[in-house]
Protein backbone atom coordinates (compact mmCIF):
# COMPACT_ATOMS: atom_id res chain seq x y z
CA UNK A 1 0.00 0.00 0.00
CA UNK A 2 1.40 3.40 -1.00
CA UNK A 3 2.06 5.91 1.74
CA UNK A 4 -0.25 8.92 1.87
CA UNK A 5 1.06 12.22 0.49
CA UNK A 6 0.18 15.58 2.02
CA UNK A 7 0.93 18.57 -0.20
CA UNK A 8 1.61 21.72 1.79
CA UNK A 9 3.19 25.12 1.30
CA UNK A 10 5.35 27.14 3.69
CA UNK A 11 5.43 26.01 7.31
CA UNK A 12 6.20 29.56 8.34
CA UNK A 13 3.31 31.26 6.56
CA UNK A 14 0.57 28.70 5.89
CA UNK A 15 -1.91 28.09 8.69
CA UNK A 16 -3.98 26.15 6.13
CA UNK A 17 -1.13 23.69 5.60
CA UNK A 18 -0.56 23.47 9.35
CA UNK A 19 -4.15 22.39 9.93
CA UNK A 20 -3.99 19.54 7.44
CA UNK A 21 -0.60 18.43 8.75
CA UNK A 22 -1.77 18.43 12.38
CA UNK A 23 -4.89 16.46 11.44
CA UNK A 24 -2.76 13.78 9.78
CA UNK A 25 -0.52 13.65 12.86
CA UNK A 26 -3.51 13.41 15.20
CA UNK A 27 -4.97 10.59 13.12
CA UNK A 28 -1.68 8.69 13.21
CA UNK A 29 -1.59 8.56 9.42
CA UNK A 30 1.81 7.83 7.97
CA UNK A 31 2.40 10.34 5.20
CA UNK A 32 5.05 11.97 3.09
CA UNK A 33 5.19 15.75 2.81
CA UNK A 34 5.24 17.35 -0.59
CA UNK A 35 6.14 21.02 -0.18
CA UNK A 36 5.22 23.45 -2.94
CA UNK A 37 7.98 25.92 -3.59
CA UNK A 38 7.17 29.56 -3.05
CA UNK A 39 9.97 30.55 -5.47
CA UNK A 40 7.58 30.37 -8.43
CA UNK A 41 5.91 33.80 -8.83
CA UNK A 42 2.55 32.28 -9.72
CA UNK A 43 2.66 30.03 -6.65
CA UNK A 44 3.61 33.00 -4.47
CA UNK A 45 0.72 35.07 -5.83
CA UNK A 46 -1.77 32.31 -5.10
CA UNK A 47 -0.33 31.78 -1.63
CA UNK A 48 -0.89 35.46 -0.88
CA UNK A 49 -4.49 35.24 -1.99
CA UNK A 50 -5.14 31.98 -0.10
CA UNK A 51 -7.14 30.92 -3.10
CA UNK A 52 -9.16 27.70 -2.81
CA UNK A 53 -7.69 26.73 -6.19
CA UNK A 54 -4.25 26.67 -4.54
CA UNK A 55 -5.26 23.25 -3.18
CA UNK A 56 -3.13 23.11 -0.04
CA UNK A 57 -3.22 21.23 2.03
CA UNK A 58 -4.07 18.35 -0.26
CA UNK A 59 -4.13 14.77 0.99
CA UNK A 60 -3.73 11.91 -1.47
CA UNK A 61 -4.41 8.49 0.02
CA UNK A 62 -5.37 5.20 -1.63
CA UNK A 63 -6.57 6.90 -4.81
CA UNK A 64 -8.55 9.58 -2.93
CA UNK A 65 -7.65 13.28 -3.23
CA UNK A 66 -8.93 15.65 -0.53
CA UNK A 67 -7.97 19.35 -0.59
CA UNK A 68 -10.01 21.08 2.11
CA UNK A 69 -9.08 20.90 5.79
CA UNK A 70 -12.60 20.11 6.98
CA UNK A 71 -12.92 17.42 4.32
CA UNK A 72 -9.50 16.07 5.32
CA UNK A 73 -10.68 15.93 8.95
CA UNK A 74 -13.85 14.03 8.02
CA UNK A 75 -11.93 11.67 5.72
CA UNK A 76 -9.38 10.90 8.43
CA UNK A 77 -12.15 10.36 10.99
CA UNK A 78 -13.63 7.74 8.63
CA UNK A 79 -10.41 5.87 7.88
CA UNK A 80 -9.01 6.19 11.42
CA UNK A 81 -12.12 5.85 13.62
CA UNK A 82 -10.06 5.16 16.77
CA UNK A 83 -8.03 8.37 16.34
CA UNK A 84 -9.05 11.20 18.69
CA UNK A 85 -10.28 13.49 15.89
CA UNK A 86 -13.94 13.82 16.89
CA UNK A 87 -15.61 13.51 20.28
CA UNK A 88 -17.58 10.31 20.92
CA UNK A 89 -20.61 12.09 22.37
CA UNK A 90 -23.07 13.20 19.66
CA UNK A 91 -23.82 16.62 21.17
CA UNK A 92 -20.15 17.36 21.80
CA UNK A 93 -19.30 16.16 18.28
CA UNK A 94 -21.94 18.51 16.82
CA UNK A 95 -20.48 21.40 18.83
CA UNK A 96 -16.99 20.47 17.62
CA UNK A 97 -18.18 20.52 14.00
CA UNK A 98 -19.92 23.87 14.45
CA UNK A 99 -16.84 25.47 16.02
CA UNK A 100 -14.59 23.94 13.33
CA UNK A 101 -16.84 25.31 10.61
CA UNK A 102 -16.79 28.77 12.19
CA UNK A 103 -13.00 28.70 12.52
CA UNK A 104 -12.61 27.37 8.98
CA UNK A 105 -14.80 29.87 7.15
CA UNK A 106 -14.83 32.93 9.36
CA UNK A 107 -12.57 35.54 10.86
CA UNK A 108 -11.76 37.38 7.61
CA UNK A 109 -10.60 40.55 9.38
CA UNK A 110 -8.29 38.56 11.63
CA UNK A 111 -6.79 36.65 8.70
CA UNK A 112 -6.17 39.89 6.79
CA UNK A 113 -4.72 41.82 9.73
CA UNK A 114 -2.66 39.03 11.30
CA UNK A 115 -1.45 36.49 8.75
CA UNK A 116 0.61 33.59 10.07
CA UNK A 117 4.34 34.22 10.31
CA UNK A 118 6.04 32.06 12.94
CA UNK A 119 9.39 33.80 12.53
CA UNK A 120 8.10 37.34 13.02
CA UNK A 121 8.19 39.22 16.30
CA UNK A 122 6.75 42.73 16.27
CA UNK A 123 7.26 44.48 19.59
CA UNK A 124 4.50 46.90 20.45
CA UNK A 125 2.31 45.63 17.63
CA UNK A 126 -1.08 47.31 17.54
CA UNK A 127 -4.03 45.22 16.43
CA UNK A 128 -6.21 46.76 13.72
CA UNK A 129 -9.57 47.56 15.29
CA UNK A 130 -11.43 45.60 12.61
CA UNK A 131 -9.70 42.41 13.75
CA UNK A 132 -10.42 42.84 17.47
CA UNK A 133 -13.94 41.39 17.24
CA UNK A 134 -12.57 38.27 15.54
CA UNK A 135 -9.84 37.97 18.17
CA UNK A 136 -12.39 38.26 20.97
CA UNK A 137 -14.54 35.51 19.40
CA UNK A 138 -11.56 33.16 18.91
CA UNK A 139 -10.52 33.65 22.53
CA UNK A 140 -14.10 32.95 23.66
CA UNK A 141 -14.16 29.74 21.61
CA UNK A 142 -10.84 28.63 23.08
CA UNK A 143 -11.98 29.37 26.64
CA UNK A 144 -15.23 27.51 26.05
CA UNK A 145 -13.67 24.48 24.39
CA UNK A 146 -10.36 23.91 26.10
CA UNK A 147 -8.85 25.53 29.15
CA UNK A 148 -5.27 26.72 28.47
CA UNK A 149 -5.74 26.02 24.72
CA UNK A 150 -2.82 28.17 23.63
CA UNK A 151 -0.32 26.51 25.94
CA UNK A 152 -1.72 23.06 25.17
CA UNK A 153 -1.28 23.55 21.43
CA UNK A 154 2.06 25.34 21.58
CA UNK A 155 3.53 22.62 23.81
CA UNK A 156 2.10 19.72 21.75
CA UNK A 157 4.90 17.66 20.14
CA UNK A 158 3.54 17.88 16.54
CA UNK A 159 3.18 21.67 16.87
CA UNK A 160 6.75 21.94 18.20
CA UNK A 161 7.92 19.83 15.25
CA UNK A 162 6.09 22.09 12.77
CA UNK A 163 7.42 25.29 14.35
CA UNK A 164 11.01 24.03 14.34
CA UNK A 165 10.71 23.18 10.63
CA UNK A 166 9.15 26.58 9.88
CA UNK A 167 12.12 28.32 11.46
CA UNK A 168 14.48 26.36 9.21
CA UNK A 169 12.78 27.45 5.99
CA UNK A 170 15.25 29.55 4.01
CA UNK A 171 12.91 31.70 1.97
CA UNK A 172 11.10 34.75 3.19
CA UNK A 173 8.11 36.23 1.45
CA UNK A 174 8.72 39.95 1.60
CA UNK A 175 5.05 40.63 1.02
CA UNK A 176 4.17 38.74 4.23
CA UNK A 177 7.02 40.04 6.38
CA UNK A 178 5.79 43.62 6.47
CA UNK A 179 4.75 45.08 9.79
CA UNK A 180 1.10 46.05 9.66
According to the CATH classification, is domain 4-175 in 3.40.30.10? Answer: yes
Q: What is the distance, to the nearest Å, from the Cα of residue 82 to the centroid of all Cα atoms in its chain?
A: 22
Distance CA 12, CA 27 (A): 23
- Kindly report the pTM of this predicted structure: 0.77
What are the domain boundaries of the chain?
A: 4-175
Identify which of 55, 14, 6, 63 has the alpha carbon closest to the alpha carbon of residue 30: 6
pLDDT in tens, the chain (180 residues): 569 999 998 899 989 899 999 999 999 999 999 998 766 666 655 555 433 446 789 999 999 999 999 999 999 999 999 998 999 999 999 999 999 999 999 999 998 888 889 998 888 888 888 899 999 999 999 888 887 877 888 899 999 999 999 999 887 776 666 554
Amino acid sequence: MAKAVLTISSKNYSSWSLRGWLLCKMAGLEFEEEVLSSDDPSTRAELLLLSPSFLVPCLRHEGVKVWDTLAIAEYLAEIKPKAPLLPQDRATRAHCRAVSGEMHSGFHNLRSALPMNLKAHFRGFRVWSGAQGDIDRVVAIWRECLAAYRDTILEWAPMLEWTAAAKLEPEELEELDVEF
